[in-house]
Protein backbone atom coordinates (compact mmCIF):
# COMPACT_ATOMS: atom_id res chain seq x y z
CA UNK A 1 0.00 0.00 0.00
CA UNK A 2 1.42 3.43 -0.94
CA UNK A 3 1.99 6.14 1.68
CA UNK A 4 -0.81 8.20 0.10
CA UNK A 5 -3.23 5.28 0.18
CA UNK A 6 -2.23 4.40 3.74
CA UNK A 7 -2.83 7.98 4.89
CA UNK A 8 -6.24 8.03 3.20
CA UNK A 9 -7.20 4.74 4.85
CA UNK A 10 -6.18 6.00 8.31
CA UNK A 11 -8.24 9.15 7.76
CA UNK A 12 -11.26 7.10 6.71
CA UNK A 13 -10.98 4.88 9.79
CA UNK A 14 -10.75 7.95 12.03
CA UNK A 15 -13.92 9.38 10.49
CA UNK A 16 -15.59 5.98 10.72
CA UNK A 17 -14.85 5.86 14.42
CA UNK A 18 -16.40 9.31 14.92
CA UNK A 19 -19.64 8.58 13.01
CA UNK A 20 -20.20 5.00 14.20
CA UNK A 21 -18.11 3.56 16.99
CA UNK A 22 -19.98 0.23 16.91
CA UNK A 23 -19.31 -0.27 13.20
CA UNK A 24 -15.71 0.83 13.67
CA UNK A 25 -15.23 -1.83 16.35
CA UNK A 26 -16.81 -4.47 14.13
CA UNK A 27 -14.77 -3.64 11.05
CA UNK A 28 -11.53 -4.05 12.99
CA UNK A 29 -12.33 -7.77 13.22
CA UNK A 30 -12.24 -8.13 9.43
CA UNK A 31 -9.30 -9.42 7.39
CA UNK A 32 -7.29 -6.52 5.92
CA UNK A 33 -8.46 -7.06 2.32
CA UNK A 34 -12.08 -6.72 3.40
CA UNK A 35 -11.70 -3.58 5.46
CA UNK A 36 -11.25 -0.93 2.78
CA UNK A 37 -14.17 -1.85 0.46
CA UNK A 38 -16.48 -2.34 3.45
CA UNK A 39 -15.34 0.90 5.12
CA UNK A 40 -15.65 2.85 1.87
CA UNK A 41 -19.14 1.53 1.19
CA UNK A 42 -20.20 2.45 4.72
CA UNK A 43 -18.74 5.96 4.56
CA UNK A 44 -20.33 6.64 1.17
CA UNK A 45 -23.68 5.33 2.42
CA UNK A 46 -23.45 7.58 5.48
CA UNK A 47 -22.65 10.50 3.18
CA UNK A 48 -25.71 9.87 1.01
CA UNK A 49 -27.78 9.47 4.18
CA UNK A 50 -26.44 12.78 5.49
CA UNK A 51 -27.46 14.52 2.27
CA UNK A 52 -30.92 12.91 2.36
CA UNK A 53 -31.44 13.97 5.99
CA UNK A 54 -30.25 17.59 5.74
CA UNK A 55 -33.54 19.15 6.79
CA UNK A 56 -32.34 22.74 6.32
CA UNK A 57 -32.91 22.46 2.56
CA UNK A 58 -35.96 21.39 0.56
CA UNK A 59 -36.67 17.81 -0.43
CA UNK A 60 -36.50 18.60 -4.18
CA UNK A 61 -32.99 20.02 -3.75
CA UNK A 62 -31.96 17.03 -1.63
CA UNK A 63 -33.22 14.68 -4.36
CA UNK A 64 -31.29 16.63 -6.99
CA UNK A 65 -28.13 16.52 -4.87
CA UNK A 66 -28.56 12.80 -4.21
CA UNK A 67 -28.72 12.24 -7.96
CA UNK A 68 -25.47 14.16 -8.39
CA UNK A 69 -23.85 12.21 -5.56
CA UNK A 70 -25.02 8.92 -7.03
CA UNK A 71 -23.49 9.86 -10.39
CA UNK A 72 -20.23 10.76 -8.65
CA UNK A 73 -20.11 7.36 -6.95
CA UNK A 74 -20.77 5.67 -10.29
CA UNK A 75 -17.89 7.67 -11.81
CA UNK A 76 -20.22 9.73 -14.01
CA UNK A 77 -19.96 13.20 -12.43
CA UNK A 78 -17.31 15.84 -12.97
CA UNK A 79 -14.82 16.80 -10.28
CA UNK A 80 -16.34 20.28 -10.29
CA UNK A 81 -19.76 18.88 -9.44
CA UNK A 82 -18.27 17.03 -6.46
CA UNK A 83 -16.47 20.16 -5.26
CA UNK A 84 -19.70 22.17 -5.50
CA UNK A 85 -21.63 19.48 -3.62
CA UNK A 86 -19.13 19.46 -0.76
CA UNK A 87 -19.01 23.27 -0.63
CA UNK A 88 -22.80 23.56 -0.44
CA UNK A 89 -23.56 20.72 2.00
CA UNK A 90 -20.65 20.63 4.44
CA UNK A 91 -21.50 24.00 6.10
CA UNK A 92 -25.10 22.85 6.64
CA UNK A 93 -24.09 20.01 8.96
CA UNK A 94 -24.63 20.74 12.64
CA UNK A 95 -22.36 17.94 13.86
CA UNK A 96 -18.64 18.10 13.26
CA UNK A 97 -18.37 14.39 12.39
CA UNK A 98 -20.99 14.68 9.64
CA UNK A 99 -19.41 17.86 8.30
CA UNK A 100 -16.04 16.12 8.12
CA UNK A 101 -17.72 13.12 6.49
CA UNK A 102 -19.05 15.29 3.65
CA UNK A 103 -15.67 17.02 3.30
CA UNK A 104 -14.04 13.59 2.97
CA UNK A 105 -16.15 12.74 -0.11
CA UNK A 106 -13.44 13.52 -2.73
CA UNK A 107 -11.00 11.34 -0.77
CA UNK A 108 -13.49 8.45 -0.66
CA UNK A 109 -14.22 8.71 -4.37
CA UNK A 110 -10.51 8.68 -5.15
CA UNK A 111 -10.02 5.56 -3.01
CA UNK A 112 -13.03 3.94 -4.67
CA UNK A 113 -11.39 4.36 -8.06
CA UNK A 114 -8.26 2.59 -6.77
CA UNK A 115 -10.06 -0.52 -5.50
CA UNK A 116 -9.82 -3.85 -7.28
CA UNK A 117 -12.22 -3.74 -10.23
CA UNK A 118 -14.58 -6.36 -8.76
CA UNK A 119 -14.68 -4.56 -5.39
CA UNK A 120 -15.29 -1.19 -7.03
CA UNK A 121 -18.18 -2.61 -9.06
CA UNK A 122 -19.73 -4.16 -5.95
CA UNK A 123 -19.43 -0.93 -3.95
CA UNK A 124 -21.03 1.02 -6.78
CA UNK A 125 -23.81 -1.54 -7.15
CA UNK A 126 -24.79 -1.49 -3.48
CA UNK A 127 -24.61 2.33 -3.31
CA UNK A 128 -26.88 2.55 -6.35
CA UNK A 129 -29.50 0.53 -4.46
CA UNK A 130 -29.04 2.49 -1.24
CA UNK A 131 -29.44 5.87 -2.95
CA UNK A 132 -32.48 4.53 -4.82
CA UNK A 133 -34.07 3.72 -1.46
CA UNK A 134 -33.20 7.15 -0.09
CA UNK A 135 -34.68 8.80 -3.18
CA UNK A 136 -37.90 6.84 -2.71
CA UNK A 137 -38.00 8.03 0.89
CA UNK A 138 -37.77 11.67 -0.18
CA UNK A 139 -40.42 11.17 -2.86
CA UNK A 140 -42.92 9.29 -0.70
CA UNK A 141 -42.90 11.57 2.33
CA UNK A 142 -43.93 15.18 1.83
CA UNK A 143 -42.81 18.31 3.68
CA UNK A 144 -46.35 19.10 4.81
CA UNK A 145 -47.56 18.67 8.38
CA UNK A 146 -49.73 15.73 7.30
CA UNK A 147 -48.46 12.26 8.22
CA UNK A 148 -47.94 10.08 5.14
CA UNK A 149 -47.84 6.28 5.28
CA UNK A 150 -46.33 3.81 2.84
CA UNK A 151 -49.22 2.29 0.85
CA UNK A 152 -48.43 -1.42 1.19
CA UNK A 153 -46.23 -3.96 2.96
CA UNK A 154 -44.51 -4.53 -0.37
CA UNK A 155 -43.40 -0.88 -0.34
CA UNK A 156 -41.83 -1.33 3.10
CA UNK A 157 -40.14 -4.54 1.97
CA UNK A 158 -38.78 -2.72 -1.08
CA UNK A 159 -37.37 0.06 1.08
CA UNK A 160 -35.73 -2.26 3.63
CA UNK A 161 -34.18 -4.30 0.82
CA UNK A 162 -32.77 -1.29 -1.00
CA UNK A 163 -31.17 0.38 2.03
CA UNK A 164 -30.18 -2.72 4.04
CA UNK A 165 -30.93 -6.08 2.43
CA UNK A 166 -28.66 -5.13 -0.45
CA UNK A 167 -25.89 -4.51 2.09
CA UNK A 168 -26.21 -8.08 3.35
CA UNK A 169 -25.74 -9.32 -0.21
CA UNK A 170 -22.76 -7.00 -0.72
CA UNK A 171 -21.07 -8.22 2.47
CA UNK A 172 -21.63 -11.84 1.43
CA UNK A 173 -20.10 -11.43 -2.02
CA UNK A 174 -16.98 -9.79 -0.60
CA UNK A 175 -16.55 -12.48 2.05
CA UNK A 176 -16.84 -15.31 -0.47
CA UNK A 177 -14.31 -13.49 -2.65
CA UNK A 178 -11.64 -13.00 0.00
CA UNK A 179 -12.16 -15.61 2.72
CA UNK A 180 -11.27 -19.22 1.98
CA UNK A 181 -14.06 -21.61 3.02
CA UNK A 182 -16.07 -18.62 4.19
CA UNK A 183 -19.24 -20.51 5.11
CA UNK A 184 -20.63 -23.98 5.60
CA UNK A 185 -23.60 -23.04 3.42
CA UNK A 186 -23.46 -22.38 -0.35
CA UNK A 187 -23.21 -18.81 -1.60
CA UNK A 188 -26.81 -18.62 -2.86
CA UNK A 189 -28.16 -19.58 0.58
CA UNK A 190 -25.87 -17.11 2.33
CA UNK A 191 -26.98 -14.36 -0.06
CA UNK A 192 -30.61 -15.06 0.83
CA UNK A 193 -29.87 -15.11 4.57
CA UNK A 194 -27.73 -11.97 4.30
CA UNK A 195 -30.52 -10.13 2.50
CA UNK A 196 -33.07 -11.17 5.15
CA UNK A 197 -30.66 -10.23 7.94
CA UNK A 198 -30.12 -6.74 6.55
CA UNK A 199 -33.84 -6.19 6.11
CA UNK A 200 -34.44 -7.34 9.68
CA UNK A 201 -31.88 -4.90 11.05
CA UNK A 202 -33.51 -2.04 9.14
CA UNK A 203 -36.90 -3.02 10.56
CA UNK A 204 -35.37 -2.78 14.05
CA UNK A 205 -34.39 0.82 13.24
CA UNK A 206 -37.87 1.60 11.92
CA UNK A 207 -39.58 0.08 14.96
CA UNK A 208 -37.23 1.85 17.38
CA UNK A 209 -37.67 5.24 15.67
CA UNK A 210 -41.39 4.91 14.90
CA UNK A 211 -42.54 7.63 17.28
CA UNK A 212 -39.99 10.19 16.10
CA UNK A 213 -40.73 9.37 12.46
CA UNK A 214 -44.47 9.81 12.99
CA UNK A 215 -43.91 13.19 14.61
CA UNK A 216 -41.80 14.13 11.56
CA UNK A 217 -44.64 13.12 9.20
CA UNK A 218 -43.30 9.69 8.18
CA UNK A 219 -45.19 6.46 8.77
CA UNK A 220 -43.35 3.41 7.45
CA UNK A 221 -46.16 1.08 8.50
CA UNK A 222 -48.44 0.17 5.57
CA UNK A 223 -51.60 2.21 5.17
CA UNK A 224 -53.44 -0.93 4.07
CA UNK A 225 -52.76 -2.44 7.51
CA UNK A 226 -53.79 0.73 9.34
CA UNK A 227 -57.08 0.79 7.43
CA UNK A 228 -57.71 -2.83 8.45
CA UNK A 229 -57.84 -1.76 12.13
CA UNK A 230 -59.69 1.49 11.44
CA UNK A 231 -56.74 3.85 11.82
CA UNK A 232 -55.38 6.68 9.71
CA UNK A 233 -51.67 7.58 9.88
CA UNK A 234 -52.59 10.70 11.87
CA UNK A 235 -54.33 8.61 14.57
CA UNK A 236 -51.43 6.27 15.38
CA UNK A 237 -49.79 8.52 17.97
CA UNK A 238 -53.07 9.38 19.68
CA UNK A 239 -54.37 5.78 19.69
CA UNK A 240 -51.26 3.63 20.21
CA UNK A 241 -53.16 0.71 21.76
CA UNK A 242 -55.14 0.17 18.55
CA UNK A 243 -51.89 0.31 16.62
CA UNK A 244 -50.22 -2.38 18.75
CA UNK A 245 -51.29 -5.46 16.71
CA UNK A 246 -49.62 -3.96 13.63
CA UNK A 247 -46.54 -2.88 15.56
CA UNK A 248 -46.15 -6.27 17.23
CA UNK A 249 -46.52 -8.10 13.92
CA UNK A 250 -43.62 -6.10 12.47
CA UNK A 251 -41.55 -6.86 15.58
CA UNK A 252 -42.17 -10.53 14.83
CA UNK A 253 -41.08 -10.03 11.23
CA UNK A 254 -37.93 -8.23 12.39
CA UNK A 255 -37.19 -11.14 14.73
CA UNK A 256 -37.39 -13.45 11.73
CA UNK A 257 -34.75 -11.36 9.96
CA UNK A 258 -32.47 -11.51 13.00
CA UNK A 259 -32.93 -15.28 13.17
CA UNK A 260 -31.70 -15.36 9.57
CA UNK A 261 -28.74 -13.34 10.79
CA UNK A 262 -27.98 -15.95 13.44
CA UNK A 263 -28.14 -18.75 10.84
CA UNK A 264 -25.86 -16.67 8.64
CA UNK A 265 -23.37 -15.95 11.42
CA UNK A 266 -23.24 -19.51 12.70
CA UNK A 267 -22.42 -20.77 9.19
CA UNK A 268 -19.27 -18.61 9.03
CA UNK A 269 -16.00 -20.43 9.63
CA UNK A 270 -13.70 -17.44 10.13
CA UNK A 271 -14.08 -16.51 13.79
CA UNK A 272 -13.18 -12.84 13.43
CA UNK A 273 -15.74 -12.31 10.66
CA UNK A 274 -18.25 -14.37 12.61
CA UNK A 275 -17.84 -12.10 15.64
CA UNK A 276 -18.23 -8.96 13.51
CA UNK A 277 -21.34 -10.40 11.86
CA UNK A 278 -23.21 -11.67 14.89
CA UNK A 279 -23.05 -8.58 17.13
CA UNK A 280 -25.75 -6.56 15.27
CA UNK A 281 -28.15 -9.50 15.65
CA UNK A 282 -27.54 -9.64 19.40
CA UNK A 283 -28.05 -5.89 19.84
CA UNK A 284 -31.08 -5.97 17.54
CA UNK A 285 -32.65 -8.84 19.49
CA UNK A 286 -32.19 -6.96 22.74
CA UNK A 287 -33.74 -3.82 21.23
CA UNK A 288 -36.79 -5.79 20.07
CA UNK A 289 -37.20 -7.30 23.54
CA UNK A 290 -37.21 -3.80 25.02
CA UNK A 291 -39.73 -2.61 22.41
CA UNK A 292 -42.05 -5.54 23.13
CA UNK A 293 -41.87 -4.78 26.83
CA UNK A 294 -42.54 -1.07 26.24
CA UNK A 295 -45.75 -1.83 24.36
CA UNK A 296 -47.73 1.26 23.37
CA UNK A 297 -45.31 3.54 25.23
CA UNK A 298 -42.56 2.74 22.69
CA UNK A 299 -43.95 5.54 20.51
CA UNK A 300 -43.58 8.12 23.30
CA UNK A 301 -40.00 7.51 24.42
CA UNK A 302 -36.65 6.50 23.07
CA UNK A 303 -36.06 2.81 23.57
CA UNK A 304 -32.50 1.60 23.15
CA UNK A 305 -30.03 -0.82 24.64
CA UNK A 306 -28.13 0.83 27.46
CA UNK A 307 -24.36 0.50 27.52
CA UNK A 308 -24.75 -0.18 31.23
CA UNK A 309 -26.81 -3.31 30.60
CA UNK A 310 -24.71 -6.22 31.86
CA UNK A 311 -25.67 -8.65 29.10
CA UNK A 312 -24.77 -6.29 26.27
CA UNK A 313 -21.61 -5.02 27.92
CA UNK A 314 -20.41 -8.56 28.62
CA UNK A 315 -21.05 -9.69 25.06
CA UNK A 316 -19.42 -6.65 23.44
CA UNK A 317 -16.34 -6.85 25.62
CA UNK A 318 -15.97 -10.60 25.13
CA UNK A 319 -16.32 -10.37 21.36
CA UNK A 320 -13.85 -7.51 21.13
CA UNK A 321 -11.24 -9.07 23.38
CA UNK A 322 -11.37 -12.61 22.05
CA UNK A 323 -11.71 -11.75 18.38
CA UNK A 324 -8.73 -9.43 18.62
CA UNK A 325 -6.71 -12.44 19.79
CA UNK A 326 -8.27 -14.81 17.24
CA UNK A 327 -9.24 -16.96 20.22
CA UNK A 328 -12.95 -17.43 19.65
CA UNK A 329 -13.32 -21.17 19.92
CA UNK A 330 -15.72 -20.65 22.83
CA UNK A 331 -18.21 -18.52 20.93
CA UNK A 332 -21.77 -19.47 21.84
CA UNK A 333 -23.88 -17.20 19.64
CA UNK A 334 -27.11 -19.17 19.98
CA UNK A 335 -27.07 -18.84 23.76
CA UNK A 336 -26.34 -15.12 23.51
CA UNK A 337 -29.20 -14.65 21.06
CA UNK A 338 -31.70 -16.40 23.33
CA UNK A 339 -30.49 -14.31 26.27
CA UNK A 340 -30.77 -11.09 24.27
CA UNK A 341 -34.38 -11.92 23.37
CA UNK A 342 -35.42 -12.25 27.00
CA UNK A 343 -37.77 -9.61 28.35
CA UNK A 344 -36.16 -6.95 30.56
CA UNK A 345 -35.50 -7.99 34.15
CA UNK A 346 -37.58 -6.24 36.85
CA UNK A 347 -35.79 -3.57 38.86
CA UNK A 348 -33.69 -4.91 41.69
CA UNK A 349 -32.90 -8.24 40.04
CA UNK A 350 -29.60 -8.95 38.27
CA UNK A 351 -29.74 -9.07 34.48
CA UNK A 352 -28.69 -12.30 32.75
CA UNK A 353 -25.14 -12.18 31.46
CA UNK A 354 -24.24 -13.48 28.00
CA UNK A 355 -20.96 -15.32 28.39
CA UNK A 356 -18.68 -17.91 26.86
CA UNK A 357 -19.47 -21.57 27.35
CA UNK A 358 -16.79 -22.96 29.62
pLDDT tens figures, 18-64:
777 767 777 877 888 898 899 999 999 999 999 999 988 888 999 99
Give the CA distances from residue 279 to residues 22, 213, 292, in Å, rounded to whole numbers and listed in that order: 9, 26, 20
- CATH number for the region 144-358 comes to 1.10.600.10
Q: How confident is the model at residue 311 (pLDDT cuts 50, 70, 90)?
A: low
Residue 230 phi, psi dihedral angles, 5° rounding: 75, 30
| Dihedral sign for Cα atoms in the order 36, 96, 131, 107 | negative
Residue 323 confidence (pLDDT) above 70: no
For helices 310-324 and 333-340, angle between their N-to-C axes, nearest 10 degrees: 160
Contacts from 67-76 at CB under 8 Å and sequence distance 24+? 67/135, 69/105, 69/131, 70/127, 70/128, 70/131, 72/105, 72/109, 73/44, 73/48, 73/109, 73/112, 73/123, 73/124, 73/127, 73/128, 73/131, 74/124, 74/127, 74/128, 75/113, 75/124
Residue 113: CB atoms within 10 Å: 9
Residue 81 has pLDDT above 90, yes or no: yes
Domain ranges of the chain: 1-140, 144-358
Q: What is the pLDDT of residue 17?
A: 78
| pLDDT at res. 4 | 57
pLDDT value for 332: 57
> Class of the 1-140 domain?
mainly alpha
Residue with the larger pLDDT of the pair 27 and 6: 27
Is residue 112 over pLDDT 60?
yes
Q: Counting Cβ atoms within 10 Å, is residue 354 exposed (0-12), middle (13-18) or buried (19+)? A: buried
CA 98 vs CA 49, 94, 105, 163: distances in Å: 10, 8, 11, 19
Tens of pLDDT, residue by residue over 123-147, are 999 999 999 999 999 999 977 778 9
Please say whether the beta carbons of 179 and 222 come within 8 A. Answer: no
Higher model confidence: residue 165 or residue 318?
165
pLDDT at 15: 78
User: What local confidence, expressed as pLDDT, does residue 46 receive?
Assistant: 94
Number of Cβ within 10 Å of residue 57's Cβ equals: 14
Q: What is the pLDDT of residue 307?
A: 60
The pLDDT mean for the chain works out to 86
Structure confidence at residue 334 (pLDDT): 56
Q: Specify the pTM.
A: 0.86
Please give the pLDDT value at position 352: 36
Q: Is the pLDDT of residue 330 over 50?
A: no
Separation CA 276–CA 326 (nearest Å): 12
Task: Convert 162-178 to b/e letters by CB count within 10 Å (16 or more is b).
Answer: bbbbbbbbbbbbbbbeb
User: Between residues 183 and 304, which one has the greater pLDDT?
Assistant: 183
Q: Would the CATH topology of 1-140 be identical to that of 144-358?
A: yes
pLDDT for 265 beyond 50: yes
Residue 347's pLDDT is 44
Task: Provide, rounded to the nearest whole percent, the portion of the chain with pLDDT above 70.
Answer: 82
Which of the residue ranges 93-102, 225-234, 236-245, 307-316 would you say has the lowest mean pLDDT?
307-316
Amino acid sequence: MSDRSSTATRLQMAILRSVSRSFYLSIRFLPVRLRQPVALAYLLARTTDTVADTARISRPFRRETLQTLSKAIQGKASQGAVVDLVASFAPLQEHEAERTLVELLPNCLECLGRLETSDCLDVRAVLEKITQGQMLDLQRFSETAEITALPTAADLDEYTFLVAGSVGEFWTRLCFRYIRNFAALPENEMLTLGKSYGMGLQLVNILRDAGADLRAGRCYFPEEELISVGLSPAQVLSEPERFQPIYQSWITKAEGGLESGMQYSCAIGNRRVRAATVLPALLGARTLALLRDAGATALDRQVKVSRKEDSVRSTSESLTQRSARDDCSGLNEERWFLTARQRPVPAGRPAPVMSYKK
